[in-house]
Structure 1
Amino acid sequence: MTDDLATSPAVQGLLERLGLGRLLPREGESPRGRNRNAAGPTTTGRAVFVKQLDGRQPDAARRFRRQRAYEETAVAGERPLTSPKCLGWDEEELLIVFEWLDGARSGSDLASDERFDDELAHRAGEMVGALHALPPDALPAEASGTTEPDPILLPPLEFFESLPLAYHTQASGASLEAWGMLQRDTELTLALRRLRSAEAAAAVTPVHGDLRLDQFLLHDGQLHLCDWEEFRRADPARDVGSFIGEWLHRAVLDIPAKDAELSGPSPRLSHQDIVRRGVAELDRLRTRSVAFWEGYRASTAVTDPGLPVRATAFAGWHLIDRMFASAEQRPRLTALDRAAAGIGRSAVLHPEKFTTVLGLEA
Structure 2
Amino acid sequence: MRTADRSGTPEPHDRPALPLRPPTGLAGILAAGGLGRLRPGAVCVSGGRNASWAVTQECGTPLFVKHVTGPAAGRRLANALAFERDAAHAAPVHHLSYPRILAQCEQRGVQVFEFIDGRPGPAVLDEHDLGAAAAHRLGRALGELHRRFRPAGDPRRSRVFPSEAALEALPESTFLDASHAELSVWRLLQNDPELCDAVRNATAAEQAAPLVAVHGDLRLAQVLWSGESVHVTDWEEYGSGDAAADVGTLVGDILWAAVLDMSRRARGNRTAASGCDVTDAGASALEHVKPVMAAAWRGYLEERPGADAGLARRTSAAAGGHLLNRVLAVARNEARLSATQRAAVGIGRALYRFPGDYAPALGLAP
Same fold (TM over 0.5): yes
Q: CA deviation at 1:181?
A: 1.6
Conserved? CA contact 1:22–1:42, under 8 Å: yes
What stretches of structure 1 of length at least 5 have no aligned partner? none
1:69 has 2:82 as partner: yes
Partner of 1:211: 218
Equivalent residues in 2 for 1:51-200, closer than 5 Å: 51-54=66-69, 57-80=70-93, 81-102=96-117, 104-134=118-148, 136=150, 139=152, 141=153, 144-145=154-155, 150-152=157-159, 154-200=161-207
> Partner letter of residue 144 of structure 2?
A
Kindly tell me the number of residue pairs found equivalent between the two proteins: 348
Partner of 2:3: none
Could you give the per-residue CA deviations for residues 234-253 of structure 1, whole angstroms, max 9, x where no partner exists? 00011111111112212311
- Root mean square deviation of aligned Cα: 1.9
Q: CA deviation at 1:22?
A: 2.1
1:41 has 2:61 as partner: no
What stretches of structure 2 of length at least 5 have no aligned partner? 1-16
- Structure 2 counterpart SS, 1:332: coil
1:326 has 2:326 as partner: no
- Structure 2 counterpart SS, 1:357: helix
Q: CA deviation at 1:280?
A: 2.0
Q: Do the aligned partners of residues 292 and 305 (structure 1) sit closer, same or farther apart at CA in structure 2, a change above 3 Å counting?
A: same
Conserved? CA contact 2:263–2:278, under 8 Å: no
Q: Do the aligned partners of residues 44 and 246 (structure 1) sit closer, same or farther apart at CA in structure 2, a change above 3 Å counting?
A: same
Q: Do the aligned partners of residues 110 and 83 (structure 1) sit closer, same or farther apart at CA in structure 2, a change above 3 Å counting?
A: same
Q: Do the aligned partners of residues 158 and 47 (structure 1) sit closer, same or farther apart at CA in structure 2, a change above 3 Å counting?
A: same
Cα distance between partner residues in 2 of 1:342 and 1:58: 30
2:259 to 227, 236, 252: 252
Cα distance between partner residues in 2 of 1:26 and 1:71: 29
Cα distance between partner residues in 2 of 1:25 and 1:357: 52
> Partner letter of residue 278 of structure 1?
G
Partner of 1:23: 38
Conserved? CA contact 2:266–2:281, under 8 Å: no
1:236 to 229, 235, 243: 243
Conserved? CA contact 1:256–1:263, under 8 Å: no
Cα distance between partner residues in 2 of 1:284 and 1:333: 24
Q: CA deviation at 1:302?
A: 3.4
Mean alpha-carbon deviation: is it higher for 216-225 or for 110-119? 216-225
1:311 to 309, 315, 322: 315
Alignment TM-score, normalising by the size of structure 2: 0.90
Alignment TM-score, normalising by the size of structure 1: 0.91
1:264 has 2:279 as partner: no
Could you give the per-residue CA deviations for residues 120-154 of structure 1, whole angstroms, max 9, x where no partner exists? 100000000000102535x4x3xx42xxx543363
Cα distance between partner residues in 2 of 1:322 and 1:60: 22
Q: CA deviation at 1:19?
A: 0.8
Could you give the per-residue CA deviations for residues 290-336 of structure 1, whole angstroms, max 9, x where no partner exists? 11011101111234110000000111111111111111110001111
